[in-house]
Amino acid sequence: MVILKDLSPAFTPGDYHFSIGTDIEEVDRFARLLGRKPTLIDRLFFPSEWREELPAARRAMSLAGIWCAKEAVVKAFAPFIALDIRQVEILKHPSKGYPYVVLHVDAPFARPFQLSVSISHTRTLAQAVAQLAVARSSMEVAAESPKNP
């Protein structure tokens, strides 16, 4: 398991590759899944993401937003590594409330990165965006540096 967090000491835009992932879903789709295919929910979501104490309507909104965040993270990482949706866990910061990501992968990601996730929803739609900044390798930076005469 890899907990994603800011691993870089200072953020300099020229030293990073950027990638964005986004997703939007209808909340009703997740309300139907909750009613008709609860085992599918168990396969696609971690127990920590699947909060049974919420009322059914809020549970569908919450799952739709978490699904969108998972999809957005997979899409943001796609240029760098292939992730399966089941490797991405979206958690809520206990005191501040913002979402953060835990990756369940065998090997850690080789480069420092910064990842931000934002989730929004209405009664009918859920949407999420993931912004990823991956440190460029020292070879990439050197190749683009001006040559000394």
The predicted pLDDT at position 6 comes to 46
The predicted pLDDT at position 143 comes to 53
The predicted pLDDT at position 73 comes to 97
Residue 99: beta bridge partners? 92
Q: Give tens-digit pLDDT for 94-134.
A: 899 899 999 888 776 677 888 999 999 999 999 999 999 98
CATH of range 2-8+15-144; options 3.90.470.20, 3.30.230.70, 3.40.50.920, 3.40.50.880: 3.90.470.20
Band of the pLDDT at 7, cuts 50, 70, 90? very low
Q: Cα–Cα distances in Å, from 55 out to 19, 60, 61?
A: 35, 9, 10
Q: Does pLDDT of 29 surpass 70?
A: yes
Q: Give tens-digit pLDDT for 135-146.
A: 887 555 545 555
Q: Give tens-digit pLDDT for 49-93.
A: 877 667 776 889 999 999 999 999 999 999 988 999 999 999 988
Burial 50-74 (b: 16+ CB within 10 A, else e): beeeeeeeebbbbbbbbbbbbbbbb
- The answer to pTM > 0.85 is no
